[in-house]
Copies of this chain bind each other. A is one copy, B any other.
């Protein structure tokens, strides 16, 4: 299926979840409950985008900040830039590589291969500063689990995207990226195709899963309890895609 054969409109439907998500919660169940409350049913063709925070919370990826003992180096760095040294320490512990450490910004590559600030360790929208929240251990696996549970409960294949807000070089502001994907291809490749003028497309791979994450980011916000949304009307490519495919291999990384 091709996204361009589709000229119908696309809808992004917010899914507010009133109750807090706690470690061990059945996330699929909670989301379906929220949908029922809204009078919305998931349909074949829908894509579910979920902010990573509720996934991490349901998986118990909370760390009590009181229990972190920052190193001298983390304390020095944090003091210099008025940061919490415990968060710096935790971010370093979650990284496999420091990409940049400059002007108070710590950019790392996580064990998953994601490049982001503070290894994705976050203290906002958790519990007011007592705990930090880590990224899911394996966001693709988390997406696949949610996808599987929805299939079991609904007898439908609903692609799942788990998203987080990342900064990026050269441009201001955060945008959403797909850190976990299941049930769809995250990249659409046009390289074998020709444009309407017959010109063969060279560099034409679209990061569809990231664009879907961004679209959801317009409704799933930082201040409200809207940790998920449904994207309806997008002709995605079915298959066993993973967000890992969106991570550029080290050998092709021009910024190493």
Binding site for B on A (CB under 8 A): 2-14, 16, 100, 102-103, 105, 107, 115, 117, 123-129, 165, 167-177, 186-187, 190, 193, 195-199, 201-208, 210-212, 214-215, 217-219, 221-226, 234, 245-248, 252-255
User: Which chain B residues border A197 with CB–CB below 8 Å?
Assistant: 125-129
Considering the chains assembled together, what is the distance between the CA atoms of A9 and B226 in angstroms?
Answer: 12
Contact of A254 among B107, B176, B198, B252 (CB under 8 A): B107
Contact assessment for B12 and A10 in the assembled complex, using a CB-CB cutoff below 8 Å = yes
Considering the chains assembled together, what is the distance between the CA atoms of A161 and B230 in angstroms?
Answer: 24
Output the least CB separation between A157 and chain B (Å).
19
Q: List 7 A-B contacts (CB under 8 A).
A: A6-B219, A10-B215, A169-B248, A172-B248, A174-B203, A190-B222, A214-B214
Contact assessment for A254 and B100 in the assembled complex, using a CB-CB cutoff below 8 Å = yes
Please name the residue on chain B nearest to A5 by beta carbon. Answer: B224
Contact of A252 among B103, B127, B196 (CB under 8 A): B103
| A10-B218, A195-B223 known, 16 other contacts, Cβ within 8 Å | A4-B222, A5-B224, A6-B219, A10-B219, A12-B215, A115-B170, A125-B196, A128-B199, A168-B168, A169-B248, A173-B246, A175-B175, A175-B210, A206-B222, A208-B218, A210-B214
Please give the count of copies of this chain that the complex contains: 2
Please name the residue on chain B nearest to A114 by beta carbon. Answer: B170
Contact assessment for A248 and B170 in the assembled complex, using a CB-CB cutoff below 8 Å = yes
Please name the residue on chain B nearest to A190 by beta carbon. Answer: B222
Please name the residue on chain B nearest to A169 by beta carbon. Answer: B255
Contact assessment for A14 and B9 in the assembled complex, using a CB-CB cutoff below 8 Å = yes
Contact assessment for B174 and A205 in the assembled complex, using a CB-CB cutoff below 8 Å = yes
Contact of A12 among B2, B9, B165, B186 (CB under 8 A): B9
Considering the chains assembled together, what is the distance between the CA atoms of A224 and B14 in angstroms?
Answer: 29
Please name the residue on chain B nearest to A253 by beta carbon. Answer: B170
Contact of A221 among B3, B127, B165, B248 (CB under 8 A): B3
Evaluate whether A11 and B10 lie within 8 angstroms (CB atoms) in the complex, with A195-B125, A217-B206 already known. Answer: yes
